[in-house]
Structure 1
Amino acid sequence: MDHVTPEQTAVAAGADRHKWMVLSNTTLGMLAAFINASIILISLPAVFRGIGLQPLDPANTDILLWTIMGYMVVTSVLVVTFGRLGDMFGRARIYNLGFLVFTLSSIALSLMPTGPGAALYLVVMRIVQGVGGALMTATSTALLTDAFPPQERGLALGINTMAAIGGQFIGLLLGGLLADISWRLVFWISVPLGIVGTIWSYVSLRDRQLPQPGHIDWFGNVSFAVGLVLVLTAITDGIQPYGHAVTAWGSPKVLAELATGLVILTAFVAVERRVARPMFDLALFRIRAFAMGTVASLLSSIARGGLQFMLIIWLQGVWLPLHGYSFEETPLWAGIFMLPLTAGFLIAGFLSGPLSDRYGPRGFAAGGMVLGAASFVALALLPADFPYGLFAALIFLNGIGSGLFVTPNTTQIMNAVPARERGQASGVRATTLNAGQVLSIGIFFTLMIFGLAWTLPGVMETRLVAQGMPLDIARQVASAPPVASLFAAFLGYNPMGELIPPAALAALPPANAAIITGKHFFPELLSIPFMSGISIAFGFSTLLFLVAAATSWLGGGRQAAAKSDGHP
């Protein structure tokens, strides 16, 4: 029987305490970051009213899109770089800096001015907040992997995932509630979480793995950032109207952004293979479990990244008004009616962690994707005015599938790499999640916009004329870009009340004007073309989930952690 010295006992006890400190702090960080990410979705109308901005004005489309997507874009671009810096200078140091930047930018947003310049201030500070989020996201998974032994990592990562998903739902509810009181509270809510988390992280977090000093690969960092920024910017710009076209995918600007970004990223890969100390060690992709897990993570993120947006538009633009809810109150109720999706994700995300520790991650990750694919097929077959019980069961099933996948997939990726490379691996994983979500939103919105453009204008013009509106005005209203209708529904505005000039409505008989601006007119217009777009989008997601399932399975069986793990 081995003799255990008091010193060894003390070291083991210290390590045990420290791992729970790491878990509690990174869980608080993920909770704060994801509350902040989702709270803005629901509260945008109140924020824009507060700063005096009309979000549905075509001139403000850029502001609207970058307020929603700027945080995700900057996080996607920076996490790999920050993960590498964590390997070089200490993961706890980078994480702590992230909490500080996140907190300071939250305070700055809470003190946002109104009037001219407020919109630009909002976008810039959201991007700065994204930098803080990227610093935390890039290192939190690596810190957890460092702190917990292989047989407990699934549990730790599952709890962390629960905080992220729970934060998304809490943000939706808080956004609806706080925006009714004061739009500034939407930003103030992140301040106490940030202050507590910043102080706690600087006091408690320490690196278990020694930093690996090295030189900064400036070409790699700059080329990767510029290339990815251009590609993601092209995706964001592509879903905006361009001239008489419903999207800007054919515009010279978008094509130039996309082509230049892809060329720079190709040059990045070519040069990084020859650099002695690259920003990212591409040799990691020779590890099958890491490579397959990363591909599966990207595919699943593309498949489900736009799901929340589509479900919100479905509920707010069609189902809730048809069931008596005013357009103004639909943002809050959409969050409430999407609770089964969150519940499924939370339950499966928590259970799949310890189960993958015991039985290996491959089966859970692959099985979750198959289950999610089945739910996408069933959702695509629902009518626009669905029975809510069936809808709730299907989005719960979708949440179960995604929850079964995320934690085992993370465990598979992080267990596959040597301890010294975990910052890079964590950064790559975060990039796949965030960049996949931006790409997903671009794909889903593009499919939906083309579907609406095919049938919505003609039907809208006919219905408006039938209610007594002059043909020229009806044609003008119906020719508005379909994205305007989608954004109106998403933001909780009555689309017909926003698209039709007030004078034209006032000239109609009151009964006709009431029908046009009522709770049934627009949902009935939207339902048929919207469901056609949903079928295509969810069919696309089904295919990606099935490929992700196969990729997860091919990633290998129950792997042991990398040899340089550092745990007994």
Structure 2
Amino acid sequence: MAATAQGGGRSRNLVLAAMIFAVAMTFIDQTIVSIAVPQIQDELSLSSTGVQWAVNAYLLTLAAFFAYGGRLADTVGHRKVVVAGVLIFAAASLLCGLTPKGGVAQTWIVVFRAVQGVGGAIMFPAALGIVVQTFALRERGKALALFFGVAGGLTAVGPILGGYLTEWTWRAIFWVNIPVAVIALILIAASRPVTEHRPAPMDYRGLALIVAGVALSVFGFQQAQIWHWSNPAIAICIAAGVVLLLVFHRVETRTASPLIQVRIFRDRAFLVENLVLGITMLVFVPFFFFASEYAQIGLDKSASGAGLYLLDFFIGFVIASQIGGRMLDRGGAKRPVVLGCVLGAVGFYLLAGQVTDLDFGGQFWYIVLSGAGLGMMLTPASTDAVNRASRLSYGEATGITQTVRNYAASLGLAVLGTISVARFQSEAESSLISRGVPAGKASSQAHDIAQSHQTSSGASGIPHFIRLDFADATRTVFSVMAGIMAVAAVVAQFGLRRGLQVEEETQGAPAGTDPQL
């Protein structure tokens, strides 16, 4: 492979470092903003819906434009697209931090959070495509374990860093991306990664369909916690989004140069890996949200303390990610993916049994085990899925897997959020009744408590029995997560085949190269 032969180990490692710094911003921003929400809302006088969209606008555009980013990288050139993505993300971060006070504030911050998401969506598939093309097939597991392990670990750094930066000014949570972007651009210029690409026209019809389909359905899932599932607009949004995605699939099969080569799903391993990734993403991203809430409400942790709770999860994640990557290189994806799903299921099950004790010490090893399970399977599943594409379609394959992952994460947050609120409300109502509160009044109070808990900044002033009720709701959520991981293990066990993947040379039209900007 031309791209794999470039330079030696030192050159390849420099490319890897450059790509890790490039995507670091996207991982940090998935969690860092949530910590500063109260300060942002207070200073800018945002409505509850406005501040919710200051968080969701980023996640929505990130999910909607991943497929476009992957296709753009494969047709224009991976390095050009990474640089463009870094510049867009950094500029949008700067402007988010410069949000003016007054009537324009809400529109300003939501728009530039959305632009951040677009920058991240075009940057990530291109960066991963560079890493995949830089390392030979038998070295990718180890390289991508480091890529996903370090970059993924930054998701846990977000709340910790955000907690400290917010003490100075909430604007710093956006400005911290600027030095990271500068380092990434310097490393890209120094490493000068060379990749192959194939110039082709952009399928704008397909782009419009998938962006609208993903955006509408993800919007529906995100709004479920605001509008509630009983609102018919939720079902309408999700149904319309799904219909558009089905139309997208049909259109792509008849398009000469499609945004996504949907026939890649005929590859059984690619299809199964994406199914497993989709199932586990119902758990992975939502865990940060529910664990952070539990740490602050149930365990009376500060925002930065909640970040440390998540950091324990990533101790297991990062270590097991390296092990899973090496297992992939030695024997293929099936064993680490199945084993990781099983470990995750056991970890969440054991963790669920401990959360009502309100004792962090008794939970530590189960948190680590849960993280280890997800770390062991995510890198091999993601890497093996991307390896199924040709050298000229790595960006496209990454765009597909990331769209699946973000779509599933939105679904997981909505469904598990509904379960959490319903369980919390039920437990709180029973507790209030047992303390002599009339049934009607208890039901009303429990509803108010359950709906307002997401804005709580800690357990101070919350009665002990309410903390226990919230912990019980968290136990239910973690138990469901254990079941979801068990389902993923079954799908991987029966859907994946054992053995190493054989590297094949790309057939088809002549490729271009991306030697310079």
TM-score by length of 2: 0.91
Where do 5+ consecutive residues of structure 1 fail to align?
1-7, 54-59, 242-246, 495-517
- Residue aligning to 1:229: 215
> Is 2:347 aligned against 1:361?
no
1:214 and 2:194 matched: no
Give unmatched runs, 5+ long, in structure 2: 508-517
Matched, 1:391 2:363: yes
Against the structure 1 CA distance between its residues 90 and 269, is the aligned structure 2 distance closer, same or farther, given a 3 Å change threshold? same
Q: Which moved more, 1:531-540 or 1:378-387?
A: 531-540
CA distance in structure 2 between the aligned counterparts of 1:67 and 1:542, rounded to whole angstroms? 31
1:316 corresponds to: 296
Q: Is 1:299 aligned to 2:267, yes or no?
A: no
Q: Specify the structure having the higher radius of gyration (Cα).
A: 1
Matching of residue 555 in structure 1 with residue 486 in structure 2: no
Deviations 1:282-338 (A, max 9, x none): 111111221111111111111222111111111111122xxxx6xxxx211111233
Q: How far apart are the structure 2 equivalents of 1:202 and 1:49?
A: 41
Rounded Cα–Cα distance in structure 2 between residues aligned with 1:430 and 1:387: 36
CA–CA separation in structure 1 for the residues paired with 2:88 and 2:284: 29
C-alpha deviation, 1:228, in angstroms: 0.9
The yes-or-no answer on 1:482 pairing with 2:450 is yes
Q: In structure 2, what is the equivalent of residue 42 of structure 1?
A: 35
* Residue 439 in structure 1 maps to residue 449 in structure 2: no
Match of 1:512 in 2: none
- Deviation readout 1:373-403 (Å, 9 max, x if unpaired): 0111112222423332221110100011011
- The C-alpha deviation readout for 1:262-282, integer Å capped at 9, x for no partner, is 111111112222222221111
- Matching residue of 1:280: 260
Are the counterparts in 2 of residues 447 and 537 from structure 1 also a CA contact under 8 Å? yes
Aligned with 1:558: secondary structure? Answer: coil
Provide the C-alpha distance between the structure 1 equivalents of 2:427 and 2:450, rounded to a whole number of angstroms.
10
User: What is the alpha-carbon distance in structure 2 between the residues aligned to residue 278 and residue 267 of structure 1?
Assistant: 13
Residues 178, 408 of structure 1: alpha-carbon distance in 2 compared, 3 angstrom cutoff? same
Distance 1:519 1:123 in 2: 33
Identity rate, percent: 25
1:537 match: 477
Classify the secondary structure of the residue corresponding to 2:130: helix
Shift in alpha-carbon separation, 1:14–1:385, aligned structure 2, 3 A: same
Shift, 1:166, TM fit: 2.3
Q: 1:259 aligns with which of 228, 232, 239?
A: 239
Distance 1:82 1:524, change over 3 A: same
1: distance between equivalents of 2:146 and 2:231?
Answer: 45
Query: For the structure 1 residues 13 and 119, does the alpha-carbon distance in structure 2 shift closer, same or farther, using more than 3 Å as the test?
Result: closer
TM-superposed CA distance for 1:475, in Å, is 8.2
Per the alignment, residue 375 of structure 1 pairs with 347
Contact 2:66 2:121 in 1 (8 A): yes
Letter in 1 for 2:105: A
The residue that corresponds to 2:513 in the other structure is none
Q: What is the CA–CA distance in structure 2 between the aligned matches of 1:537 and 1:472, rounded to whole Å? A: 27
Q: Cα offset for 1:425?
A: 0.6
Corresponding position of 1:107 = 94
1:116 deviates by 2.3
* Aligned equivalents of 2:103, 2:458: Cα separation in 1: 23
**Amino acid paired to 1:297:** L
Contact 2:355 2:475 in 1 (8 A): no
Shift of 1:89: 1.1
Distance 1:148 1:301 in 2: 26
Range with greater deviation from structure 2 (30-39 or 373-382): 30-39
Q: Secondary structure at the match of 1:319?
A: coil
Tell me the distance in 2 between the aligned counterparts of 1:362 and 1:100: 38
2: distance between equivalents of 1:166 and 1:453? 33
Q: Does 2:136 match 1:149?
A: yes
> SS state of the match for residue 37, structure 1?
coil
Equivalent residue, structure 2, for 1:454:
426
Cross-structure match for 2:26? 33
Q: Residues 547 and 562 of structure 1: is their aligned pair in 2 closer, same or farther, counting only changes over 3 Å?
A: farther
2:357 alignment partner, SS class: coil
Moved more, 348-357 or 85-94: 348-357
TM-score (norm 1): 0.83
Residue 34 of structure 1: how far off its partner (Å): 1.5
- Residue 478 of structure 1 and its aligned partner are, at CA, apart by 5.0
Residue pair 1:138, 1:423 contacting (<8 A) in 2 also:
yes
Shift of 1:171: 1.6
Deviates further, 384-393 or 556-565: 556-565
Quote the residue 1:505 is aligned against.
Answer: none
Q: Does 1:81 align with 2:68?
A: yes
1:478/1:413 CA distance change after superposition, 3 Å? closer
Task: Say whether the 8 Å CA contact 1:79–1:427 is kept in structure 2.
Answer: yes
Residue 112 of structure 1, CA deviation:
1.6
CA distance in 2, matches of 1:188, 1:550: 44
- How many residues align? The count is 505
